Chains A and B, each alone.
Chain A
Amino acid sequence: MEFPMIVSQALNGIAFGMLLFLLAAGLSLMFGLMGIVNLAHGAYFMVGGYVGLTVLEITDSFPLAIVAGAAAGAFLGFLTERFFMRRLYGLHGHETILLTFALSLVLSDLSLFLWSGTPRWVQPPAFLDFSFSLLGNPYPAYRLAIILIGVLIFVSLYWFQERTLWGAIVRAGVDDKEMATGLGINIPLVFTMVFCLGAFLAGFGGFVGSPILGLHIGLDVEIIMLALAVVIVGGIGSLTGCLATCLLLGISDTLGKVLWPNYASLTIYLVVVIVLLVKPAGLFGKEVK
């Protein structure tokens, strides 16, 4: 493979990694704070994408569609936390897995009902729908925009977590829920907010990613598998670790698909197996358990 080709494939990988980050950031935050694995998280991504598509078709406004997709994700997250998860905290853990699994089944069939099974593609907004020359090869501007958006989201999440009072409250909740409650922090409210934030990012990613990934039934499962792989490889701990893992997996997935097209996304799981063998707590995991 020639050098310019490698560069554009690596950029594709980074763009994909950024989309993964939008999903995995919320997923690992929920994992860290509430100790749950939310299997419905991929469904927020998919439904966010579909809702955005519908709004785009009605209003013909890309920004409005993004807002609608993200809001749909946040709304679903709110419903999930408030009406289902809240009843299950403090149980064994398999209850939440079963419930979110069931929820993803419902959301997937609901999407099939509302948007039918035909795969859909979304056109990037007009002002980004062009290619520019990158080392002699044409490269779509929209993918660069996604990378930029990913960086922006990362920076604002980092700022939120490290520099704001709300971020401090969330960190306190991750470290010691009981002590945080004792200090007068409303932990159930924090749970709801974190859930909404994570689902918001997922819905956002679902629509922003739709010009690249497309929209089809089953997208929820494909994307949640990769986001869970991020959680295994990166471990839970830092936001930076999460981003680094997403980029690593995004690039290895894209390059793997180019180099060994027959093996689909198996390169990612090769990374998963190696990490499990060498460092079971994950590359950036804090605790060794």
Chain B
Amino acid sequence: MSRVRSSWKSILSAAVGAAFLLLVPVLPQYAVTLATSIIIYSIYVSSANLLTGYTGLVSLGQAMFWGSAAYSVAILTSKAQITNFYLVALIGLLVVVLISAFFGILALRVKRLYFMIVTFAFGHVVWCIAMYPMQKLTRGYDGIKDIARPELGLSVSLATGVSFYYFVLIVAVICFSVFFLIIRSPFGHAIVGIRDNEHRMAALGYNTLLYKYISYILSAVFSGVAGILFAYFNGYVNPSELHWLFSGDALMMMFIGGIGTFWGPLWGALAYTGLRYWISSYTMYWFGIEGIIFILVVLFFRGGIAGFVMSVQKRLKWQRH
């Protein structure tokens, strides 16, 4: 029976994958833009999922990594005029690693809800620092405009929407493969063990704090990758990329997709971005409607899309028996 299920699943995944890969060149411009942002968001949400879904640390500070990477790209390309993509990306990730290494030490001193509040506060600190003391660099509330698409030093140009889409897709495939390897590795099993029962893992001799710290930094790095892609994709970075609301969005997309599941973040990003695109075209009160959708999801679809798919599968299995 498990073979039937896994083949059913892989056919579905393959179909979705093929759709992402092949349909794009024939789609209109707005759909390519939408698909690109969905993929970038799915990397971001996956990174948050590594920390929240797999390690059990609910963080409300994920936007600080996405945003600081995006701002690094914006400042390096538009102010410092650095055109080498690899150098910009490297510095951006280095900034994220430093920030997460610093705040991780502080935030992991407390647990559970306290951890969430502390990450929330740190996100706000970084936002404040970017808006006020660093205003000359970040241009405050105005944000930074005119970020050129990256030059990879290869013969392909990323200037068009479709070519940039494929670039994002390749990076996403790499990221998701790495996520897969992390989750299947002994490290991945250890963080899931910590999520389920930290005391037991500590008693087994695991240095749980170190595992959580590494997970925190890894999660930050992948959020940073997504943030870098986003800065180049959007061509414009504004304060909302650093804002805690965007950290909340990560949690929400994760929850809609299915918390602690591998493909959940992709489903969540797809549903969220699609809904926002659709609803924003009718009303300016997207946040309020987003809130109502979130409330309904938390109350009635707690497993998210992945949980729903799983329950349908279970029901099918029952009927076959």
Contact = CB atoms under 8 A, between A and B. Distances in A.
| A is bound by B | yes
Interface of A: 31, 35-37, 84, 87-88, 91, 93-95, 97-99, 101-106, 108-110, 112-113, 221, 225, 228-229, 231-232, 262-266, 269, 272-273, 276-277, 280, 289
B287 interface: yes
19 contacts: A35-B113, A93-B113, A94-B251, A99-B299, A101-B251, A101-B252, A102-B291, A102-B295, A103-B295, A113-B288, A231-B117, A262-B133, A266-B133, A269-B121, A272-B125, A277-B106, A280-B109, A280-B110, A289-B110
Contacts of B116: 37, 94, 97
By secondary structure, the B interface counts as helix
B240 to A, nearest CB: 12
Contacts of B122: 269
The listed residue with most A CB atoms (<10 A of its CB), out of B112, B114, B245, B259, is: B114
Given A106-B292, A263-B132, 20 more contacts: A35-B113, A37-B113, A93-B113, A94-B255, A97-B113, A101-B248, A103-B295, A105-B245, A105-B294, A109-B288, A109-B291, A232-B110, A232-B117, A263-B128, A264-B128, A266-B125, A266-B132, A272-B118, A276-B109, A289-B111
Interface of B: 52, 58, 60, 106-107, 109-114, 116-118, 120-122, 124-125, 128-129, 131-133, 135, 244-245, 248, 251-252, 255, 259, 285, 287-295, 298-299, 302
B294 A269 contact: no
Nearest to B131: A264
Nearest to B290: A105
A263 B298 CA distance: 37
Nearest to A261: B132
B255 A228 contact: no
A37 B125 CA distance: 19
Contact of B124 (A99, A104, A105, A269): A269
Contacts of B294: 98-99, 101-102, 105
B109 A262 contact: no
B114 A232 contact: yes
Given A88-B298, A101-B248, A106 B113 contact: no
B117 A109 contact: no
B252 A31 contact: no
Given A95-B298, A98-B251, A225-B124, A31 B118 contact: no
Given A228-B120, A231-B117, A265 B128 contact: yes
Nearest to B259: A94
Nearest to B132: A264
A232 B111 contact: no
A94 B121 contact: no
Contact of B287 (A98, A105, A273): A105
B58 A232 contact: no
A228 B252 CA distance: 21
Contacts of A280: 109-110
Contact of A95 (B133, B244, B248, B302): B302
A37 to B, nearest CB: 5
The listed residue with most B CB atoms (<10 A of its CB), out of A87, A101, A232, is: A101
A231 B120 CA distance: 12
A232 B121 contact: yes
A221 B247 CA distance: 14
A269 B128 contact: yes
Contacts of A263: 128, 132-133
Nearest to A35: B113
Contact of B121 (A36, A110, A272): A272
A269 B131 CA distance: 15
Nearest to B302: A95
B288 A98 contact: no
A73 to B, nearest CB: 18
A37 B117 contact: yes
B195 to A, nearest CB: 10
Contacts of B52: 94
A225 B121 contact: yes
A3 B320 CA distance: 83
A266 B127 CA distance: 10
